[in-house]
Amino acid sequence: MPVHELAQLTWEEVRDLDREKTVAILPVGAVEAHGPHLPLETDVVIAKAMARAGGEKLAARGHPVVLLPALPYTAARFAAAFPGTITISTVTVTALIVDIARSLSQQGFRLLAIANAHLDPEHLTALTEAVKIARADRLLAVVFPDLTRKPWASRLGDEFKSGACHAGQFESSIVIAEQPALVRDDTRRSLAPNPSSLSQAIKTGKRTFAEAGGPRAYFGDPAAASSEEGRRTIAVLGSILEEAALAELKA
């Protein structure tokens, strides 16, 4: 079964989909600093890769799938001091997700699955709140596998689990696999590892990348990244999205 890009279909082609069985996947990222070697759209690149991989897995099981255009703007306050980062309020993020869910619900779609690659705490809170509101308003089901929580986090490698994983080996590998031309590779190879744990810094009340020990907006080991690791990680992210969607589809 094919995976369709919603925005590339005509309205009549969408009309003719079996929408009562169709899973809509929304890639969600951010426009924010990702070190001196990765583009501002890194999270969008990762979210789209996760959405595609998860969609292909669901389609292989016979579930109709449409991929929505990626949502690139969200709360990104940790990186706000870096030029190019665009941050919006959590209220806006939540309202936008709920409105998307409402529109899909009115058109009879079965499920909205969020392929999220941005881990700013305020952003995660906004997505969680959107899921709650959609449920309270009896819209279509919305699933959001939070990669920072169990059981998902344990499947994403040692760097991810350490919390030192913003623009490091984990994310750099995915961008190398997906969009190698976007990586400033000479710069990446020259970067020393930064073992500062962003997740631990968040727990102790730090509010910016600089406060957390990332003055160049990266954490982890970008120089250790590889396309092979990136492809493996994309497959894992796709499986996580697939499993979260299947759990709701079987409920």
Query: Does residue 180 have a cis peptide bond before it, meaning omega lies within 30 degrees of 0?
Result: no
φ, ψ (nearest 5 deg) of residue 121: -55, -40
What are the sequence ranges of the domains in the chain? Answer: 3-249
pLDDT band at 43 (very low <50, low <70, confident <90, very high): very high
Establish how many alpha carbons lie within 13 A of residue 40's alpha carbon, considering only the half-sphere containing its beta carbon: 14
Answer whether residue 251 shows pLDDT above 80: no
| Annotation: CATH topology of 3-249 | Rossmann fold (3.40.50)
Across the range 173-193, mean pLDDT stands at: 98
pLDDT of residue 20: 96
pLDDT band at 250 (very low <50, low <70, confident <90, very high): confident
Amino acid at position 57, single letter: K
Could you tell me what percent of the chain has a pLDDT over 90? 96
Range among 134-143, 153-162, 199-208 rated most confident:
134-143
φ, ψ (nearest 5 deg) of residue 224: -85, 0
Answer whether residue 41 shows pLDDT above 90: yes
pLDDT of residue 14: 97
Amino acid at position 3, single letter: V
Q: What is the pLDDT of residues 72-114, one digit of tens each?
A: 999 999 999 999 999 999 999 999 999 999 999 999 999 999 9
pLDDT of residue 150: 86
H helices within 41-139, ranges in order? 42-60, 90-106, 121-136
d(Cα 218, Cα 197) in Å, to the nearest integer?
11
- Mean pLDDT taken over the chain: 96
pLDDT of residue 1: 80
d(Cα 251, Cα 249) in Å, to the nearest integer?
6
